[in-house]
Structure 1
Amino acid sequence: MKIDLHTHAKLSKASDFSAAYYEEMIGEALESGLDALALTEHFNTRNFYEVYDNLDRMFPYNGDYYEANGLKIFPGMEVDIRETGHILLIGRRETVLEARRRLDGYADKDSFILFDELMDLADSLPLLKIGAHPFRESTPLHHLSDAQLSRLDAFDLNAKDLYEYGREANRERVEGLAARLGKPVTAGSDTHQCLQYGSVYNELDADCGSVAELKEAIRRGAYRIRISDELPIKVKASVMLKKLLKKLARFEAETAAAAGAM
């Protein structure tokens, strides 16, 4: 099973969820050869709960994942911590939504939850906990203590960072940190739109039908990380397209506002 463990459904945190936009993304994910993905939308994205309300209308949910035209979508979210850094939490829909409800008072930048408190919350629920892009300059994790980082299940080898900081250099740093702590490394594209799918993914030895099975496969190391030779062009094109789509969205909003003022 080929799975991407760090993906987004929306162009940005400020944008609304679009069913048509996400349908296009799913089509591209399938085209890139993926069998599954974890949807780790930002926990403080605009109208977070509406993302899952829309998925409920779009696709059947079997109790563990959404069945999206042959693609498995495992629920999740990406959470900011006060110390700076992002944590991916992946689980069943009701578990992810319960964790999000417990974070209702922590969504603003000045009130992000402390790492240890987030781990206490996550440990009280059946969730897979992955430290996102641990060496990204803007949102690192490596500054936390080894005791803290050891509470995570894995660390994210992130396509955007492989492009930004160099494939070998970034991979060496992430794998070095994980090895020191006795933790596995998982791959995530961190895509906000379709072109970045397939840049990196995890190829599991067997199909997984639940997050519990996925977590166990990762723990046992029953998978391999695949990095596409096309990663640089995929990520570069993705960044450029994202900028263009954001400009278009702003232009459409300004045009609509101007028309409404007439």
Structure 2
Amino acid sequence: MRIDLHTHAKLSKATDFSPAYYEEMLREAAANGLNALALTEHFNTRHFFEVYESLDQLYPYNGEYYEAGPLKIFPGMEVDIRETGHILLIGRKELILEVRRKLDDYTEKDAFIPFADLMTLAESYPLLKIGAHPFRESTPLHHLDRSQLQRLDAFDLNAKDMYEYGNELNRANVERFAAELGKPVTAGSDTHQCLQYGSVYNELHQPCHSVAELKQAIAAGAYDVRVADSLPLQVKASVMLKKLLKRLALLETPAEASPVPNTLV
């Protein structure tokens, strides 16, 4: 089972969820060999709850994941913390939505939840907790208290950072950091559009049908991190396309149906 543990459903935080745009993304994910993904949309994205309301209309939900044709979509979100940094939380839909509601007072930049408080909140639910892109210059995690970092389940090997800072250097830094904390490393494309799927992913030794099984497999090391040779080209093209789509979105009038020109994806 090939799963990407860091993905987004929208072009950016400012855009609305577009079913046509997301369905195109999923087609590309499947075409690139993925069997599953975790949807870790930003917790303070525009109309966060509408993303899951839309998914409920699009795909069956079996209590653990959405059944999107050949793909399993595990619910999640990406949460900003006060000290600077992003945390991925993955779990059953009702739990993700419940935790999100408890973060209503923490969505603004000057009022993000402290890391320790987020961990305490997340630990009261059976969630998979991943430290996102720990060496990204704008949102690092390596500066945080190590006793608090050890409350995470894994750290994110992020396709965007591998492109930005170099595949081998970034991977070495993340793996060394995680090993010092006694934690595994998981792969996430961090994609906001279709071209980045498959650049990195986790190949599980056995299929997982719940977040509990995912968490167990990661803790046991029953998976391999795969990095595509095409990662630099995929991420570069993705960055260029995202910039173009955002510029085109700004040119559209409110009367037009979609904030993102799906025909260009």
**TM-score bucket of the superposed structures, by smaller chain:** over 0.9
Residue 255 of structure 1 and its aligned partner are, at CA, apart by: 8.7
Q: Which amino acid aligns with 1:76?
A: G
**SS of residue in 1 equivalent to 2:225:** strand
Q: How does 1:226-245 map to 2 (within 5 A)?
A: 226-245=226-245
Residue 254 of structure 1 and its aligned partner are, at CA, apart by: 7.6
Q: Which amino acid aligns with 1:191?
A: T
2:194 is matched with 194
1:109 is matched with 109
**SS of residue in 2 equivalent to 1:202:** strand
Q: List gaps (5 residues or longer) in structure 2.
A: 257-265
Aligned residues: 256
CA distance in 2, matches of 1:105, 1:70: 37
Q: Does 1:66 align with 2:66?
A: yes
**TM-score normalized with structure 1 length:** 0.97
1:132 is matched with 132
Cα-Cα RMSD: 0.9
1:82 is matched with 82
CA distance in 2, matches of 1:154, 1:174: 10
Residue 253 of structure 1 and its aligned partner are, at CA, apart by: 3.4
**SS of residue in 1 equivalent to 2:252:** helix
2:180 is matched with 180
Q: Does 1:53 align with 2:53?
A: yes
1:260 is matched with none
CA distance in 2, matches of 1:203, 1:253: 43
**TM-score normalized with structure 2 length:** 0.96
CA distance in 2, matches of 1:127, 1:202: 18
Q: List gaps (5 residues or longer) in structure 1.
A: 257-262
Residue 145 of structure 1 and its aligned partner are, at CA, apart by: 1.3
CA distance in 1, matches of 2:16, 2:123: 31
Which whole-Å deviations, capped at 9, do the CAs of 1:128-152 have from their partners, x for residues lacking one? 0000000000000000011011000
Structure showing the higher helix proportion among its residues: 1
CA distance in 2, matches of 1:168, 1:235: 15
Aligned-residue sequence identity (percent) comes to 74
CA distance in 2, matches of 1:226, 1:47: 33
2:23 is matched with 23
**SS of residue in 2 equivalent to 1:253:** coil
**SS of residue in 2 equivalent to 1:87:** strand
Residue 169 of structure 1 and its aligned partner are, at CA, apart by: 0.4
1:215 is matched with 215
Which whole-Å deviations, capped at 9, do the CAs of 1:225-248 have from their partners, x for residues lacking one? 000000000000000000000000
Residue 70 of structure 1 and its aligned partner are, at CA, apart by: 1.2
**Displacement over 4 Å in runs of 4+:** none
CA distance in 2, matches of 1:106, 1:35: 33
